């Protein structure tokens, strides 16, 4: 602990006083002496001039939540860049299925109004409306999303009015997301805006419940590298009907029917907890925070789910799947453990993954000593019980809160969804954390660091001081770490591999991590002529001794 305190003090010394004061609040050392997680500052402004990893509200809204909806066309209203950069970047896989034929999948196209100077001066409403008309005529989509970017908010285009008029004109839903990049302090604002719009306009519009005894939704799963498909495979084997994986490979048609499921699973807490919560208020649907990254974590999530339904057949089938899958992958995992065991890692990914991946790494015998998020809120670190105590500042006030009421026709109590009596439901809640998330803190170990919005300087210093064996991060930091001789894996897009979720994912991940650690080149960084002259630089030779 003390060692870590000194390390951090040294790290702060280069900061101007105001920066130091600010950044100190974003960094917490885990101490087992503390009963609860000390308060960590999160979801507050990035300091100007700091090389942060954060993106903007538009990236959170369009890039994360909205764009993966495969049968809707998403138009970025703004100059060309924003739409272009969020085109095909997140690897949200999609395929045709019973609700979505091939010619209704638009995921590989990029639509932007490409605003030009006169449009900025005179307004872009008309241009947007014209583009919608052309697109409807050419593509006949089931629905259209409009996402606005920074200048649109400033020039005051009323995208809501354009969407409303287009909806009437074309008889399909056209949705407007006012997700200008400057809203809030990070992607997080955009997640919230997307959640609000989808909740208000799409969910609840359908009335077709999928056949099956236990119908569930997976929320906050974006099917990067096929993660969602692996989860669907497992869930189906256990006996569930997956109504919708949202929004990875989700169709507009399925999202309309989201309320017709018995249980919502929440995978990425940060980006989708709003919908889970709003559905609980409006329809009574219970939700369960799950984690399908990691073998033990997957098993645990499956067991908790099975408990929710108190159906002996389901529990039996779940145990069979767990036994079968674990036995299938265990021998291979054991081989990889030989390479991975005892290695120290840093994890900086998105809104739940820095937590999720700790479980998978634990399965491999590795430990995460520094972890953090780019755009999380306090509850992602400290647990949902802190939500009432979070003070809303000017930046978060700009994002409207929907105050929903129970739906007169459709609301049912949580226990009814699960076919339980009130008493059974109360007893279940004691066993399974329904409608709750405990945050990352409990899974960290004594002396580990939690760091919010870790910036380039802090990363560089922490690497120098702690010399981890491996770093999990985004593409922007990957090459920085590697230049320092530390292997890095890109965890936003998995270095273009995957899936990493579920059982098959665990094997893929273990294989990729093992390869990352054992690439022979790591041992050859020092050229032979330097090795001869200074034989004792041998320590530098390999970044790891695998």
Partner 1 sequence: MLECVPEGKTEHTTGKINPAKTCQPIGAMYASLGIHGCLPHSHGSQGCCAYHRMHLTRHFRDQVLAASSSFTEGASVFGGASNLKTSIKNIFKIYNPDIIAVHTTCLSETIGDDIPNIIKQSEIPEGKIVIHTNTPSYVGSHITGFSNMCKSMVAYLAEAQGETKKEQVNVIPGFVNPGDMREIRRIVTALGVKLVMFPDTSGVLDAPLTSKYQMYPEGGTTIAEIRDSGNSEVTLALGAFASNAAADLLQEKCGVTGIPLKLPIGLKATDDFIMAVKDWFGADIPKEIAIERGQVIDTLIDTHFHYQGKTVAIFGDPDHVIAMTEFVITMGMVPKYVLTGTPGKEFEATVTKMLDEAGITGSRVKAEGDLFELHEWIREEKVDLMIGTTYGKYIARTEDIPLVRFGFPILDRAVHPLMPVVGYRGCLRLIEQISNAFLERRDRDALDEDFELVL
Contacts of 459 (CB under 8 A, 6+ apart): 346, 348, 473, 477, 480, 481
Angle at 244 between CA 239 and CA 250, to 5 degrees: 140
Tokens of 32: 């087992």
Task: Give the Cβ contact number of residue 436 at 10 Å.
Answer: 13
Member of 100, 148, 251, 271 binding ligand SF4 (CB under 6 A): 271
| Cα 512 from chain centre | 21
Using CB distances below 5 to 8 A depending on partner kind, what does residue 395 bind out of ligand SF4, partner 1, none? partner 1
* Contact string 322-361 vs ligand SF4 (x = CB under 6 A): ----------------------------xxxx--------
Q: How far is the CB of 358 from partner 1 (least distance, A)?
A: 25
Residue that the structure tokens 């021998």 belong to: 331
Using CB distances below 5 to 8 A depending on partner kind, what does residue 350 bind out of partner 1, ligand SF4, none? ligand SF4
Which helix (H) or strand (E) segment is 173 a member of? Answer: strand 173-177
Member of 206, 212, 365, 485 binding partner 1 (CB under 8 A): 485
Using CB distances below 5 to 8 A depending on partner kind, what does residue 119 bind out of partner 1, ligand SF4, none? partner 1
Binding to partner 1, residues 138-157 (CB under 8 A): 138-139, 149-151, 153-155
Considering the rule CB under 6 A, would residue 66 count as an interface residue with ligand SF4? no
Q: How far is the CB of 162 from partner 1 (least distance, A)?
A: 13
Which helix (H) or strand (E) segment is 86 a member of? Answer: none
Member of 43, 53, 113, 149 binding ligand SF4 (CB under 6 A): 149
Distance of alpha carbon 359 from alpha carbon 354, whole angstroms: 10
The catalytically annotated residue of 26, 37, 42, 56 is 56
Total residues binding ligand SF4 (CB under 6 A)? 17
Q: Indicate if 90 belongs to the active site.
A: yes
Member of 158, 367, 407, 482 binding partner 1 (CB under 8 A): 482
Tokens of 384: 């949902």
DSSP of 205-265: ----PPSSSEEEEEEEE--BTTHHHHHHHHHHHHTEEEEEEEETT--HHHHHTGGGSSEEE
Using CB distances below 5 to 8 A depending on partner kind, what does residue 237 bind out of partner 1, ligand SF4, none? none
Member of 268, 308, 370, 546 binding ligand SF4 (CB under 6 A): 268
Of all residues in the chain, what percent are helix, strand and coil, respectively (each to 5)?
50, 15, 40
Q: How far is the CB of 214 from partner 1 (least distance, A)?
A: 34
Using CB distances below 5 to 8 A depending on partner kind, what does residue 351 bind out of ligand SF4, partner 1, none? ligand SF4
Beta strands at 173-177 and 143-148: parallel, antiparallel or unpaired: parallel
The catalytically annotated residue of 23, 26, 77, 90 is 90
Distance of alpha carbon 523 from alpha carbon 538, whole angstroms: 10
Residue that the structure tokens 């997640």 belong to: 191
Q: Indicate if 56 belongs to the active site.
A: yes
Residue among 323, 305, 325, 324 nearest 315 (CA): 305
Q: How far is the CB of 497 from partner 1 (least distance, A)?
A: 14
Binding to partner 1, residues 393-452 (CB under 8 A): 394-395, 398
The answer to whether the bond into 499 is cis (omega within 30° of 0) is yes
> Which phi and psi angles does 545 have, rounded to 5°?
-105, 25
Using CB distances below 5 to 8 A depending on partner kind, what does residue 457 bind out of ligand SF4, partner 1, none? partner 1
Region near partner 1 per CB under 8 A, out of 133-141, 157-165, 317-325, 382-390: 133-141
Q: Indicate if 191 belongs to the active site.
A: yes
* Residues with catalytic roles: 56, 59, 90, 191
Give me the residues that bind ligand SF4 (CB under 6 A), please: 64, 78-82, 149-150, 181, 222, 268, 270-271, 350-353
């Amino acid at each position: 602990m003390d060692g870590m305190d000194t390390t951090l003090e040294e790290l702060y010394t280069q900061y101007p006083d105001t920066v130091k004061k600010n950044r100190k609040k974003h960094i917490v050392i885990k101490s087992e002496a503390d009963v609860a997680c000390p308060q960590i500052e999160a979801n507050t402004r990035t300091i100007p001039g700091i090389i942060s990893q954060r993106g903007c509200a538009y990236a959170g809204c369009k890039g994360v939540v909205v764009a993966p909806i495969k049968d809707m066309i998403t138009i970025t209203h703004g100059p060309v860049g924003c739409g272009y950069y969020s085109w095909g970047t997140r690897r949200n896989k999609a395929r045709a299925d019973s609700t979505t034929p091939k010619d209704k999948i638009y995921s590989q196209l990029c639509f932007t109004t490409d605003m030009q100077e006169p449009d900025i001066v005179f307004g872009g409403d008309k241009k947007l409306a014209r583009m919608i008309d052309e697109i409807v005529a050419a593509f006949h989509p089931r629905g259209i999303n409009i996402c606005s970017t920074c200048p649109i908010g400033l020039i005051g285009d009323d995208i809501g009015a354009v969407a409303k008029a287009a909806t009437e004109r074309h008889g399909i839903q056209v949705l407007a997301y006012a997700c200008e990049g400057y809203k809030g302090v990070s992607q997080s604002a955009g997640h919230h805006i997307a959640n609000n719009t989808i909740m208000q306009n799409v969910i609840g519009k359908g009335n077709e419940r999928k056949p099956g005894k236990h119908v569930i939704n997976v929320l906050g799963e974006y099917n990067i590298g096929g993660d969602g498909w692996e989860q669907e495979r497992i869930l189906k084997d256990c006996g569930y009907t997956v109504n919708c994986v949202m929004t990875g490979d989700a169709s507009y048609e399925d999202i309309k029917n989201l309320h017709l499921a018995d249980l919502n699973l929440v995978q990425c807490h940060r980006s989708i907890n709003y919908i889970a919560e709003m559905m609980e208020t409006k329809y009574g649907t219970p939700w369960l925070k799950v984690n399908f990254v990691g073998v033990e974590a997957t098993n645990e999530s499956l067991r908790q789910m099975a408990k929710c339904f108190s159906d002996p057949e389901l529990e039996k089938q779940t145990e069979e799947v767990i036994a079968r899958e674990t036995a299938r992958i265990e021998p291979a995992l054991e081989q990889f453990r030989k390479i991975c065991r005892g290695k120290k890692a840093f994890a900086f990914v998105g809104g739940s993954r820095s937590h999720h991946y700790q479980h998978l790494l634990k399965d491999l015998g590795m430990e995460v000593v520094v972890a953090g998020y780019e755009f999380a809120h306090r509850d992602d670190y400290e647990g949902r019980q802190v939500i009432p105590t979070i003070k809303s500042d000017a930046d978060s006030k700009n994002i409207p809160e929907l105050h929903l009421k129970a739906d007169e026709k459709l609301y049912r109590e949580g226990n009814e969804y699960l076919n339980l009596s009130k008493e059974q439901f109360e007893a279940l809640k004691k066993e399974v954390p329904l409608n709750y998330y405990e945050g990352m803190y409990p899974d960290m170990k004594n002396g580990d660091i939690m760091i919010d919005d870790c910036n380039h300087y802090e990363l560089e210093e922490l690497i120098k001081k702690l010399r981890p064996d491996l770093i999990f991060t985004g593409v922007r930091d990957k090459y920085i770490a590697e230049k320092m001789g530390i292997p890095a894996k890109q965890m936003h897009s998995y270095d273009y591999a995957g899936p990493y979720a579920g059982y098959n994912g665990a094997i893929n991940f273990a294989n990729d991590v093992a390869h990352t650690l054992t690439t022979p080149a790591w041992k050859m960084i020092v050229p032979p002529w330097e090795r001869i002259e200074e034989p004792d630089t041998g320590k530098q030779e390999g970044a790891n001794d695998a």
